[in-house]
Amino acid sequence: MEITLKAKNTDSKIIIQDNILDSISSYISGNPKLFIVTDENVHRLYYNRIEGLLKGAGFAVECAVLRAGESSKSLESLNYLYGECIAAKITRTDLIIALGGGVIGDITGFLAATYLRGVRLMQIPTTLLAQIDSSVGGKTAVNLEYGKNLAGVFYQPHQVLIDPVTLNTLSDIIFSDGISEAIKYAYIKDRALLALFSHSKKNILEIIEACVTIKKDVVTRDEFDRGERMLLNFGHTIGHAIEKAGDYSLYTHGQGVSLGMVAAAELSHEIYGFSAVPDLKEILFKNNLPIKTGLSSDCLKYIVNDKKMESDTLNVILLKEVGEAVIHKMKADEFIKLAEKSSIWSK
């Protein structure tokens, strides 16, 4: 399946195909030098195979390997990657490739956007979360000590190669991490998706195609996150605060989003009469995602640094019903006061 996302500065081609990695060289035009960014886990699983295919096709290949995990999405790692690009003599006519999950995709996208004011970018997402969400749409970022994704830029990849076969190497925890984002898409845009989550692994290709299509449509209408695209942040405001409070190691991104969706759904019930909170909790629980945290509501203090803040007002994503999300403006202190009442917190 091929999907084209038409953006302001470039078209982004998204190709979903089993074993697409075996033909990776056919998707690279010209004769650029290739600079691959990956992490230790993905390097061990896929790098030698991909390097062999690319070098066999005549490409010069350089690689930088980061530690696996959210802690690598930092300014320190970014500075290291700039140095490696300089050492490899990467120019603006070359190609930077992100090979890995959401952390690698985010930081590599930021690298490609800012090194020499822009080098072509290819995303090869190897986790479900990256395949259905973070690799598509051009959001790039690193974390700052104050919070998640606070430094970043919009920069569309020229290509996204999605190989569902790579999901076979994921642990159950990391697979569920991506299912959390897929459930998000169902609740904000397409309730028909819910039927797929009773057998998520069996229906995975259908889930990937549906989520990527939804994101493509939303980004095409609102590339720079000023309106409809904000809906994709359902569950993320509290989720990011939980990730930060857990030092990005206690909870994965998908687990944080799962908890954030429960809290946001409960707030939706309070404000809009949303009635499907029990159903949301059940579907998350059945997909091995948390609906309660050992953390206290003290972590809500990190919300003041949320990128969706406008002055002292927060754009909160709430639900009117399954498949219908809205942007609800609230004072940050009011939001925190209501969110403190959520059932997710340790009492």
Q: Which phi and psi (to 5°) does residue 135 adopt?
A: -80, -15
CA-CA distance, 157 to 123, in Å (whole number)?
A: 6
By DSSP bridging, strand 95-100 and strand 34-39 are parallel
What's the confidence (pLDDT) of residue 136? 97
Backbone angles phi, psi at 326, to 5 degrees: -135, 155
Q: State the pLDDT at residue 307.
A: 66
Question: Residue 91 has what DSSP assignment?
Answer: -
CB 77 within 8 A of CB 107: yes
Q: In what order do the strands lie in the sheet with 324-331?
A: 309-310, 313-321, 324-331
Say how many residues make up the chain. 347
* SS3 state at 315: strand
The whole-number pLDDT of residue 347 equals: 64
Could you tell me the two tokens for 291?
A: 């609906």
Distance CA 37, CA 154 (A): 19
Name beta bridge partners: 306. none
pLDDT at 323 (0 to 100):
97
Question: Helix H segments across the chain?
Answer: 40-42, 48-56, 75-87, 102-114, 128-129, 172-188, 204-221, 236-245, 253-272, 277-286, 332-339
Report the alpha-carbon distance of residue 84 to residue 36 in Å, rounded.
Answer: 11
Helices 75-87/102-114 angle, 10° precision:
60
Listed residue (92, 118, 105, 131) closest to 36, CA to CA: 105
DSSP classification of residue 133: I
Return the amino acid letter for 225. D
Virtual torsion, Cα 210, 216, 218, 219, nearest 10 deg: 150
Question: 63 pairs with which residues across the strands?
Answer: 36
Q: Please check whether residue 24 is in contact with residue 234, taking contact to mean a CB–CB distance below 8 angstroms.
A: no
Q: Global pTM?
A: 0.94
Structure tokens at 66: 């980061």
Q: Are 101 and 69 in contact (CB under 8 A)?
A: no
Q: 139 CB contacts (<8 Å, ≥6 apart)? A: 106, 109, 149, 152, 154, 225
Please give the DSSP secondary-structure letter assigned to residue 308. Answer: T
What domains lie within the chain, and their CATH numbers? 2-169 (3.40.50.1970), 172-339 (1.20.1090.10)
172-188 and 277-286 helices, crossing angle to 10°: 160
pLDDT tens per residue across span 279-309: 999 999 999 999 999 999 999 999 877 766 6
d(CA 306, CA 284) in angstroms, rounded, equals: 24
Nearest alpha-carbon partner for 298 in 338, 245, 219: 245
Q: Which residues of the chain have pLDDT under 50?
A: none
* Exposed/middle/buried for residue 226 (C-beta within 10 Å: 0-12, 13-18, 19+): exposed
